[in-house]
Amino acid sequence: MTVLVAYNESPQGEAAFRAAVEEARRRATTLTVLVLTPQPETSPVPAHLTDLVETADAGAVVEIAFRSDKIDVADAILDHAERSEAEAIVIGSRKRSPVGKFLLGSTTQRVLLDAAVPVLVIKAAV
């Protein structure tokens, strides 16, 4: 079992990462980081993510996966949660206007509604 964090390089992504580290510690399980920015599986881990992982508990097991550009973000999160047998999903959220939610849809909403496991939504500190 693992805690899955949906990560991108943003204040929301970093807040979600920190919360996921704490959740993985609390559950005494591994942490899987799904990088939402599409990259080839053979590419090196981005430096900013390496730095974040190093700040996590040195004893923690952290696995890193990348989203394919052929799948949308919500599907990637849900699919990876199922494949990795995640026991929880952690995602960051940003404030959006009601009109923005209506016109653009919401990855957070889809994950909340369709996930088979608990979802922890984290806002970045302002």
The structure tokens listed for 109 are 């909403």
- Burial grade of 65 (CB within 10 A; 0-12, 13-18, 19 or more): middle
Tokens 């890193």 belong to: 64
| CATH class in words for 2-123 | alpha beta
Count of residues in the chain: 126
Per-residue pLDDT at 8 exceeds 70: yes
Q: What is the pLDDT of residues 107-124, one digit of tens each?
A: 888 999 999 999 999 988
Per-residue pLDDT at 65 exceeds 90: no
The structure tokens listed for 68 are 């394919």
The structure tokens listed for 113 are 């509604």
Strand segments, DSSP code E, in the chain are 2-7, 30-35, 62-66, 86-93, 119-123
pLDDT at position 84: 94
